[in-house]
């Protein structure tokens, strides 16, 4: 294990000691929503079981000439609404249970924004940070060949996840295309733009966070201009969300990453901070405000809190210290289920992850549509269509919340479970 992997695992273990597994948290919310919907027990059983789970051995030749065998998984949780959709992660802690739960999460997320995909996820147990580019390529290609039976633009469409990126998607697309003897760009999303990726994909998750937050502020009657924002995490999601919120006239007063944080009551200049992070590999040392602890944005006095780093950062231990009026969950699972009630009691309006960060999978859907049509859209078109889908999804979840007098989180699960269940109802059972 590399030192960086050790740090990541220690950090994660520490967070997990005090809290439930985030995926169990997700399934407990699923159960609550299913109960409120009065879901038919047969349909409940169908939705509680993964459709397909594949385990593959992935033998590769390491650079030292030795053969090593890795284990990989691909799970299609549900394909009633369309092909499986979900990322592939390379990580030492990957388990079949985790991949299955993440696949279920994708099924609900795609249904919330009403895009025609089911839910899937994949993973390989490995330490990618200790592997050479050649070893990673061999691992990716052999894993892809192992899961070939599931993959395809009409059956299962992977995307990047933890420790996989555009480069890995290009290898998957190439391996699949070599097997079927012609180029199939639509078999993965999150590809480089030159080979069928979509403009606007990189910014899509942050853009979705900004759009749903804007809708939340309008609903609550909080003026957008001057609204004070705190952001934890300054990677893809956190930095783009901060930048787009600033462009809307909001004021980012506190922001942090794994190296530290910065606070400025007059607003942190996000463009300068981005340049600083590129140069220094982190926020620490940035001079445009006061240095703060990496966890401070969570409890700072603000209008909007965007947790955009890790899961389980808002827990029953710190929820009563949260002072934000709105939480926009950029990360997956940043709020432990045990904290939901505390936040509700304080009147905090939570935009749940399966809605707030669904902008990424929505533009992945656009990428798949563009690849299949062979006709590519300009960035404005991508952004306008994303805006329409995110605004509509927010309004539909809010209407469900009003109708059933439940939180936005419960409403988002109710909406998505109902949509998946309805398709099962209409399709009936085959043989």
Q: Is 157 in the site for ligand NAD (CB under 6 A)?
A: no
**235 vs 267, beta carbon nearer ligand NAD:** 235
Of 235, 172, 159, 228, the closest CA to residue 203 belongs to: 235
Least distance CB 283 / ligand NAD (angstroms): 8
Question: Based on CB atoms, which residue is closest to ligand NAD, 177 or 236?
Answer: 236
Return the half-sphere exposure (C-beta side, CA atoms, 13 A cut-off) of residue 282: 10
Which two structure tokens, joined as six digits, stand for 144? 């892809």
- 237 is an interface residue for ligand NAD by CB under 6 A: yes
Of residues 314 through 333, those in contact with ligand NAD by CB under 6 A are 330-332
Sign of CA dihedral 234, 239, 241, 246: positive
Which residues ranging from 346 to 375 are in contact with ligand NAD (CB under 6 A)?
357, 360
- Minimum gap (Å) between residue 148 Cβ and ligand NAD: 26
Residue 10 buriedness (CB in 10 A; 0-12 / 13-18 / 19+): exposed
Judged by beta carbon, residue 308 or residue 314, the one nearer ligand NAD is 308
Q: Do 281 and 247 form a contact (C-beta atoms < 8 A)?
A: no
Work out how close the CB of 357 gets to ligand NAD at its nearest, in angstroms, rounded to a whole number.
4
Answer yes or no whether residue 118 interacts with ligand NAD by CB under 6 A: no
Known catalytic residues are: 121
Q: Are the CB atoms for 91 and 137 separated by under 8 Å?
A: no
Q: How many CA atoms lie within 13 A of 325 on its CB side?
A: 16
Q: Give me the residue whose beta carbon is nearest to ligand NAD.
A: 235
Which of 308, 319, 350, 401 touches ligand NAD by CB under 6 A? 308
Among 280, 305, 279, 300, which residue's Cα sits nearest to residue 290?
300
Residue 310 or 339 having the CB closest to ligand NAD: 310
Across 366-376, b (16+ Cβ under 10 Å) vs e yields: bbbbbbeeeeb
From 219, 258, 404, 424, residue interacting with ligand NAD (rule: CB under 6 A): 258
Helix (H) or strand (E) holding 344: helix 337-345
Residue 189 burial by CB count (10 A; 0-12/13-18/19+): exposed, middle or buried?
buried
**At closest approach, how far in Å is the CB of 64 from ligand NAD?**
30
Residue from the set 228, 294, 409, 419 that interacts with ligand NAD by CB under 6 A? 294
| C-alpha count within 13 angstroms, C-beta hemisphere, residue 167 | 8
> Using the rule CB under 6 A, is 256 a contact of ligand NAD?
yes
> Which x/- pattern, by CB under 6 A, does the window 200-229 give for ligand NAD?
-----x------------------------
Among 292, 310, 339, 417, binds ligand NAD (CB under 6 A): 310
Q: Which residues contribute to the site for ligand NAD (CB under 6 A)?
A: 205, 232-238, 256-258, 294, 308-310, 330-332, 357, 360
């Amino acid at each position: 294990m590399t030192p960086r992997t050790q740090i990541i695992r220690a950090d994660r273990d520490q967070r997990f000691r005090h809290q439930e597994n985030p995926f169990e948290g997700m399934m407990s919310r699923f159960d609550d929503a299913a109960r409120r919907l009065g879901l038919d027990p047969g349909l409940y059983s169908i939705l509680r079981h993964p459709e397909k789970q594949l385990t593959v051995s992935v033998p590769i030749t390491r650079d030292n000439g030795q053969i090593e065998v890795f284990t990989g998984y691909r799970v299609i949780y549900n394909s009633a609404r369309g092909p499986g959709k979900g990322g592939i992660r390379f990580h030492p802690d990957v388990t079949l249970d985790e991949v299955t739960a993440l696949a279920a999460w994708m099924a609900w997320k795609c249904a919330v924004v009403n895009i025609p995909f089911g839910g899937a996820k994949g993973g390989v147990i490995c330490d990618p940070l200790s592997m050479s580019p050649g070893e990673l390529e061999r691992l990716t290609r052999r894993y892809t060949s192992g899961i070939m039976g599931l993959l395809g633009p009409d059956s299962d469409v992977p995307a990047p996840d933890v420790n996989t990126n555009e480069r890995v998607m290009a290898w998957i697309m190439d391996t699949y295309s070599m097997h079927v003897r012609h180029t199939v760009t639509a078999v993965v999303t999150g590809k480089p733009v030159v080979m069928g990726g979509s403009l606007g994909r990189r910014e899509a998750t942050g853009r979705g966070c900004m759009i749903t937050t804007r809708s939340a502020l309008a609903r609550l009657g909080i003026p957008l201009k001057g609204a004070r924002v705190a952001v934890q995490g300054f990677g893809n999601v956190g930095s783009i969300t901060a930048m787009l919120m600033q462009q809307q006239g909001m004021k980012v007063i506190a922001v942090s990453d794994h190296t530290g944080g910065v606070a400025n009551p007059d607003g942190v200049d996000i463009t300068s901070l981005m340049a600083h992070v590129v140069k220094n590999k982190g926020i620490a040392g940035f001079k445009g405000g006061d240095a703060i602890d990496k966890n401070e944005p969570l409890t700072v006095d603000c209008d909007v809190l965007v947790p955009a780093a890790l899961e389980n950062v808002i827990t029953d231990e710190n929820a009563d210290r949260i002072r934000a009026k709105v939480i926009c969950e950029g990360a997956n699972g940043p709020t432990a289920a045990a904290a939901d009630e505390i936040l509700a009691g304080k009147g905090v309006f939570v935009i749940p992850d399966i809605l707030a960060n669904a902008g990424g999978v929505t533009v992945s859907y656009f990428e798949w549509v563009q690849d299949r049509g062979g006709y590519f859209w300009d960035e404005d078109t991508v952004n306008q269509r994303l805006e329409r889908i995110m605004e509509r999804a927010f309004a539909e979840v809010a209407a469900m919340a009003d109708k059933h007098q439940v939180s936005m989180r419960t409403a988002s699960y109710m909406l998505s479970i109902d949509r998946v269940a309805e398709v099962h109802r209409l399709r009936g059972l085959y043989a």
